[in-house]
């Protein structure tokens, strides 16, 4: 039996999205969204950049994501929608904002598809000696096929992927605690002396802590996926509330806990970290088969991220098409309530990017750089949208941003500071300027579209209607040309 989604697609586009995700799947999606190769391998880059003080980098990044998720949760519980923050920006700031951030986010996850597929291909190629492009494309085909069948397939794949990642992290933390306290037989690493014995806690100074912050922040990307997926569950508000409440301890336990184990047991400047932070620790513990264990965990982690990337890109494309900001064919759904065209289109472009990596690697490098600051832009838009929404709508009762408006404004200022930091640090300038250039193009197109077509009316439930729909509008929403313009902060700060 199919249930209508909280914000259904136009009737001409086919059945609404199916509410096929279960509560246990939503819980695991919220966990798996923030656990990727960035934790198992990429965190070693942050450790090398900041030394043991990278703990501060991860604490700051975790604090930012917790605040952003609380703001997003406030809006998502009030109006569950598969377009998530793009739809909320559309209502609160204007059509140009929803259009711009929606396409930026879609582009980000389109590029996650080849990144994760290539990573999986290289690991599998190392284990089997087959050319890496074969398992890379095979992985995309498998998970795209799963996404095409029914949303519950995505949920079930992600449930088991996330569960395996959680088991791996918990096992790592248990082994790490045993080693730190000297209870792990055969381990060459114990104690926490590496926190200060290799040049001090912050051997490269405070600026390096900020550099580590950038790596840490991008490792947390993905926590927002749960607000997109929850719209396809039978109890979206309940599932979103549960996920938002749990994000604090998950981030603290999995990320900060893991990094604490790493910098306690391995010197921050050790060459062993080049193979990945987890593997470096397992090797020093003399865990047999550490390399093979990490290869398996990495394949699971990147498969999970690839699975989520296909799902997330397709749902954002579907939402944009439903709002008439993308080709209307992408709003069509199958009899099972799956946006099949959106899945296929996102997958095909992802495959093209994989091919570009092997045939035109320099072009692929620039493509990847163009998404380098999109996560920060998304966080900024969520914060500004929540600020604008709270000034228009009644005070929320179920999930509420703490200390509004002070923490919201502090979050906006912090993100702006991080963007300035990217402009200052040489290693991140290309990412920033390419991302800003892409954003500028999309904002320009969005503003021109808004001037030509105007804002859309919104329904009483907060869902954005297709242009030309009839009926009353909720005067607390941003419909009817009352959206806030690009100068929202100047006008309301």
Contact 475, 468 (CB under 8 A): no
CA-to-CA distance for 266 and 195, rounded, in angstroms?
Answer: 9
Q: Give the C-alpha separation, 372 to 108, whole Å.
A: 8
Of the candidates 237, 311, 345, 318, the one whose C-alpha atom is nearest the C-alpha of residue 15 is 318
**In the chain, what percentage of residues exceed pLDDT 90?**
52
Tell me: pLDDT of 419 over 70: yes
Does the pTM exceed 0.85? yes
Residue 183 has pLDDT above 70, yes or no: yes
Give the mean pLDDT of 454-461: 53
Asked whether residue 83 carries a pLDDT value surpassing 80, the answer given is yes
Q: Which residues of 461-472 are buried (b: 16+ CB within 10 A; e: fewer)?
A: ebbbbbeeeeee
pLDDT at 219: 77
d(CA 88, CA 72): 9
Distance from CA of residue 417 to its chain's centroid? 20
Determine the pLDDT at residue 15.
62
Q: Which distant-in-sequence residues (6+ apart) come within 8 Å of 426 by Cβ?
A: none
Closest among 336, 331, 19 to 146, alpha carbons compared: 336
Taking a C-beta distance cutoff of 8 angstroms, is the pair 158, 28 a contact? yes
> Using CA atoms, how far apart are residues 52 and 324, in angstroms rounded to an integer?
49
pLDDT in tens, 352-394: 999 999 999 988 888 888 988 999 999 999 999 999 999 988 8
DSSP string computed for 158-203: HHHHHHHHHHHHHHHHHHHHHHHTT-STT-S--SSGGGTTTT-SST
CA separation for the pair 54, 209 (Å, rounded): 6
Q: How many Cβ atoms from other residues are within 10 Å of residue 483's Cβ?
A: 24
If pLDDT is split at 50, 70 and 90, which confidence band does 16 have?
Answer: confident
d(CA 47, CA 269): 8
Query: Does residue 213 carry a pLDDT above 90?
Result: no
pLDDT at 464 over 50: no
**What is the pLDDT, as a whole number, of residue 19?**
81
Backbone φ, ψ for residue 233 (5° rounding): -115, 165
Query: To 10 degrees, the CA torsion angle through 252, 256, 261, 263?
Result: -160
Indicate whether 493 pLDDT > 60. Answer: no
Using one digit for the tens of pLDDT, what is the confidence trace for 134-170? 999 999 999 999 999 888 888 898 899 989 988 999 9
**Does 20 score more than 80 pLDDT?**
yes
Longest dimension (CA), the chain: 72
Closest CA to 146 of 158, 132, 162, 133: 158
pLDDT value at residue 456:
64
Question: Per-residue confidence at 453, pLDDT binned at 50, 70, 90?
Answer: confident
Banded pLDDT at 484 (limits 50, 70, 90): very low
Distance CA 144, CA 142 (A): 6
As a whole number of angstroms, the distance between CA 370 and CA 126 comes to: 29
Summarised one tens digit per residue, pLDDT across range 166-182 is 899 999 999 999 999 99
Digit-coded pLDDT (tens) for 187-212: 898 899 999 998 899 999 888 888 88
Residue 129 has pLDDT above 90, yes or no: no
Residue 405 host element (H or E): none
Higher per-residue confidence, 330 vs 243: 330
- Does 485 have pLDDT greater than 50? no
pLDDT for residue 226: 86
Residue 458 and residue 464 in contact, taking contact as beta carbons nearer than 8 Å: yes
pLDDT given at position 33: 67
Cβ pair 33, 308 in contact under 8 A: yes
Residue (of 109, 110, 108, 134) closest to 123 by Cα position: 134
Torsion angle (degrees, nearest 10) of CA 58, 61, 67, 73 = -90
What tokens does 229 get?
């997926």
Give mean pLDDT, residues 422-432.
87
Structure tokens at 16: 């609404």
Q: Between 439 and 206, where is the model more confident?
A: 439
Phi-psi region of 231 (alpha: psi -120 to 50; beta: other; left: phi over 0): alpha
Phi, psi angles (nearest 5°) of residue 364: -60, -35
Give CA–CA dist 377/187, Å, rounded: 43
From residue 206, alpha-carbon distances to 45, 51, 63 in Å are: 16, 11, 18
Task: Answer with the residue of higher pLDDT: 221 or 106.
Answer: 106
pLDDT tens digits, one per residue of 217-259: 777 788 888 889 888 888 888 888 888 887 767 777 888 899 9
pLDDT-derived band at 36 (thresholds 50, 70, 90) equals: confident
**CA 100/CA 85 separation, integer angstroms:** 11
Measure the CA–CA gap between 47 and 259, rounded to whole angstroms. Answer: 8
Is residue 215 helix, strand or coil? helix
Question: pLDDT at position 492, please?
Answer: 32
- Lookup: tokens for 323: 């709002």
At 72, the pLDDT band (50, 70, 90 cuts) reads: very high
Please give the structure tokens belonging to residue 425: 């640090």
Q: What is the mean pLDDT of the chain?
A: 84
The mean per-residue pLDDT over the stretch 462-474 comes to 34
- Provide the token pair at 252: 């603290």
């Amino acid at each position: 039996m199919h249930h209508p989604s909280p914000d259904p697609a136009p009737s001409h586009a086919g059945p609404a999205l199916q509410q096929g995700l279960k509560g246990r799947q939503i819980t695991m999606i919220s966990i798996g969204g923030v656990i990727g190769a960035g934790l198992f391998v990429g965190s070693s880059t942050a450790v090398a950049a900041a030394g043991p003080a990278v703990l501060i980098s991860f604490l700051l990044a975790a604090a930012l994501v917790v605040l952003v998720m609380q703001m997003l949760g406030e809006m998502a519980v009030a109006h569950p929608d598969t377009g998530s923050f793009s739809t909320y920006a559309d209502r609160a700031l204007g059509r140009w904002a929803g259009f711009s951030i929606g396409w930026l986010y879609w582009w980000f996850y389109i590029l996650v598809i080849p990144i994760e597929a290539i990573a999986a291909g290289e690991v599998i190629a190392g284990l089997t000696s087959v050319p890496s492009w074969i398992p890379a494309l095979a992985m995309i085909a498998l998970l795209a096929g799963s996404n095409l069948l029914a949303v519950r397939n995505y949920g079930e794949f992600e449930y088991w992927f996330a569960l395996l990642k959680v088991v791996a992290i918990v096992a790592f933390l248990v082994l790490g605690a045993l080693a730190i306290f000297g209870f792990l037989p055969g381990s060459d690493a114990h104690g926490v002396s590496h926190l200060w014995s290799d040049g001090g806690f912050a051997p490269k100074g405070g600026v390096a802590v900020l550099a580590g912050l950038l790596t840490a922040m991008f490792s947390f990307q993905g926590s927002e996926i749960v607000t997109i997926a929850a719209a396809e569950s039978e109890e979206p508000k309940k599932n979103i509330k549960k996920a938002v409440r749990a994000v604090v301890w998950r981030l603290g336990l999995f990320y900060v806990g893991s990094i604490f184990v790493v910098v306690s047991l391995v010197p921050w400047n050790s060459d062993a970290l080049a193979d990945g932070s987890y593997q470096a620790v397992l090797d020093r513990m003399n865990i047999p088969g550490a390399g093979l264990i990490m290869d398996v965990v990495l394949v699971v982690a990147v498969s999970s991220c690839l699975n989520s990337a296909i799902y997330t890109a397709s749902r954002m494309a579907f939402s944009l098409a439903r709002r008439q900001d993308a080709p209307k064919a992408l709003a069509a759904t199958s009899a099972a309530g799956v946006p099949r065209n959106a899945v296929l289109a996102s997958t095909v472009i992802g495959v093209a990017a994989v091919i570009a990596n092997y045939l035109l690697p320099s072009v692929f490098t620039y493509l990847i750089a163009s998404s380098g600051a999109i996560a920060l832009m998304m966080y900024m838009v969520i914060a500004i949208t929540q600020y604008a929404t709270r000034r228009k709508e009644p005070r929320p009762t179920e999930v509420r941003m703490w200390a509004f408006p002070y923490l919201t404004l502090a979050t906006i200022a912090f993100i702006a500071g991080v963007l300035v930091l990217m402009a200052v640090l040489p290693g991140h300038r290309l990412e920033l300027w390419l991302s800003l250039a892409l954003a500028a193009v999309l904002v320009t197109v969005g503003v021109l579209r808004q001037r030509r077509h105007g804002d859309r009316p919104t329904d009483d439930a907060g869902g954005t209607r297709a242009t030309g729909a009839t009926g009353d509008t909720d005067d607390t929403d941003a419909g009817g040309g009352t959206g806030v313009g690009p100068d929202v902060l100047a006008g309301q700060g």
